[in-house]
């Protein structure tokens, strides 16, 4: 940074902003309450490090299980996408074949209907 005063003025601005915000009674009370809560927690955990260790272990286990669940879900989705990629050409071929079969059947049905109409027309005569 050399001779730059930018960093110093940022820090000075933060300090002044914090000091000005303390003019508000509600802010002061909130800061005092949070500071007292934090101090009491630090004192409690300094006297009971096993409790802190147990809580941290529980948090670690929780996040580890979330990670494992997420990893399993991601692997499942990936496998489903890969399966879909392999099935897509097969499904496309099946749809094309089915369409062709219906078109062929449509022509056959038209012929049958026309023959039936001719037979009905002949019977009428």
Q: Is residue 18 part of a domain?
A: yes
Give the range of the structural domain holding residue 15, as residue numbers without chain letter. 1-47
Q: What is the pLDDT of residues 39-63, one digit of tens each?
A: 999 999 999 999 999 999 999 999 9
| Position 77 in a domain | no
User: Residue 109 domain-assigned?
Assistant: no
Instruction: Encode pLDDT of 96-118 as tens digits.
Output: 888 787 777 777 777 777 777 66
pTM above 0.85, yes or no: no
**What is the total count of domains within the chain?**
1
| Residue 30 forms part of a structural domain | yes
- Can you state the angle between helices 25-47 and 49-124, rounded to 10 degrees? 110
**Residue 73 resides in a domain:** no
Residues 6+ apart with CB under 8 A from 60: none
Q: Does 42 map to a domain?
A: yes
pLDDT at 64 over 80: yes
Distance of alpha carbon 60 from alpha carbon 29, whole angstroms: 34
Is 20 contained in some domain? yes
What's the length of the chain?
125
Residue 19 counted as domain residue: yes
Q: Name the residue with higher pLDDT: 27 or 80.
A: 27
Mapped to the 3 state alphabet, what secondary structure does the chain carry?
CCCCCHHHHHHHHHHHHHHHHCCCHHHHHHHHHHHHHHHHHHHHHHHCHHHHHHHHHHHHHHHHHHHHHHHHHHHHHHHHHHHHHHHHHHHHHHHHHHHHHHHHHHHHHHHHHHHHHHHHHHHHC
């Amino acid at each position: 940074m050399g001779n730059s005063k930018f960093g110093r003025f940022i820090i000075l601005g933060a300090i002044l902003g914090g000091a000005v915000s303390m003019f508000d009674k509600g802010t002061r009370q909130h800061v005092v309450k949070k500071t007292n809560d934090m101090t009491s927690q630090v004192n409690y955990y300094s006297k009971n490090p096993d409790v802190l260790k147990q809580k941290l272990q529980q948090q670690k286990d929780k996040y580890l299980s979330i990670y494992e669940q997420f990893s399993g879900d991601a692997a499942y989705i990936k496998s489903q996408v890969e399966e879909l990629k392999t099935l897509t050409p097969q499904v496309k071929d099946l749809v094309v074949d089915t369409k062709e079969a219906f078109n062929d059947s449509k022509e056959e049905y038209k012929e049958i209907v026309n023959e039936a109409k001719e037979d009905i027309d002949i019977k009428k005569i």
